Structures are given as structure tokens and as C-alpha cells.
Amino acid sequence: MSQSLRKLRARIATQARHRCGYCQTQEVVSGIPLTLEHIIPKAAGGSDEEWNLWLSCRLCNEEKGVLTEAVDPESGETVALFNPRTQEWKEHFAWSEDGTYITGRTACGRATIVALSLNSELRVRSRAIWVEAGYHPPE
Ligand SMILES: [Zn+2]
């Protein structure tokens, strides 16, 4: 990693509070470094500039792939995926009472949950362990 890329990554990690912009997984809890992700994928013309970059976990990054929008399961409407740089996570998502499920508060939130499989069985089981240990959900 070049010096300037390292600095950019460090700056974005601070902005993202070392959490995945989508599922909120904390780097220190998973032990797996978060990746620099393109909010608008490069394949869809997204730039390498800071405004288009955020941190995400590998799972979310893989699931997101080249997607920029998805269907809201409630309204059937196609909407833009959540943008962790310009939108507030708490406006679009919430944690279930037990802290293991992400619920959508908006069409954007619901569509992103489905598109990125934010509540896959393994993720939910993993979060249950983090909750028990007192590391989840992040405040
Ligand atoms: Zn994630």
C-alpha cells in the first residue's frame, strides 16, 4: 500500500469509526481488516476519490458487488442502496431488541438489508456471540 493510500485509508477509517458502513461490524470485534470500498462501484463509473470511498467488511463488499440499487421488499420499489458517507445509518436501520438483526426503517434501508444479506444466518449467529460478550451492537 502506498503512503498516500495508507493515509487515505486511515482518514476514512476514522470517519467510519472502524466499522463497516453497512452492517456496522467493528473491525476490532471481527479481527478482519475492513476494506476500502467504492460506494458507487468502479464498474458503474465510480471514482477513486475520497467522497466515493468508505469502509466495509468483506461480506458486505462481496454482496454489494456492482449493485447501486435494489428492490424494497415492502413497496416493490427499486431504490438506491444506502450510502454510508452521505446518509445516517440510524435513519435507515435499527437493531432488533436483542441486537442480532438489522431492521430497515426506510425503503433504502430495507432494500440494502436484502441486497447485502445483512441478516444472513451466520451473521446473526455471530452477532449473538458478540452481544453476549458485550461488544455489540456498537453504540
Ligand atoms: Zn458489513
Report CA Rg, the chain: 15
- The predicted pLDDT at position 78 comes to 98
Q: Is 139 domain-assigned?
A: no
Predicted pLDDT at 139? 81
Ligand 1 center to residue 23 CA distance, Å? 4
**pLDDT single digits (tens) 38-95:** 999 999 999 999 999 999 999 999 999 999 999 999 999 999 999 999 999 999 999 9
- 15-35 pLDDT per residue, tens: 999 999 999 999 999 999 999
Q: Which residue has the cell 449467529?
A: 125
- pLDDT digit string (tens) for 88-114? 999 999 999 999 999 999 999 999 999
Residue 39 lies in a domain: yes
Tell me the C-alpha distance between 84 and 48, whole Å. Answer: 16
Residue 111 domain-assigned? Answer: yes
What is the CA(73)–ligand 1 centre distance, in A?
20
- Identify whether 138 is part of a domain: no
Q: How many angstroms does the Cα of residue 116 sit away from the middle of ligand 1? A: 8
**Residue 74 CA to ligand 1 centre (angstroms):** 22
The structural domain count of the chain equals 1
Whole domain around residue 42: which residue ranges? 3-133
CA separation for the pair 64, 58 (Å, rounded):
10
Closest CA to 121 of 58, 73, 59, 66: 59
For cell 445516517, the residue is 88
pTM beyond 0.85: yes
**pLDDT value of position 42:** 93
Q: What is the reported pLDDT for 101?
A: 98
Report pLDDT for 98. 96
For residue 21, how far is its CA from the centre of ligand 1 (angstroms)?
7
Q: 22 lies in a domain?
A: yes
52 CA to middle of ligand 1, Å?
17
Surrounding ion ligand 1 within 5 Å at CB are: 20, 22-23, 25, 57, 60
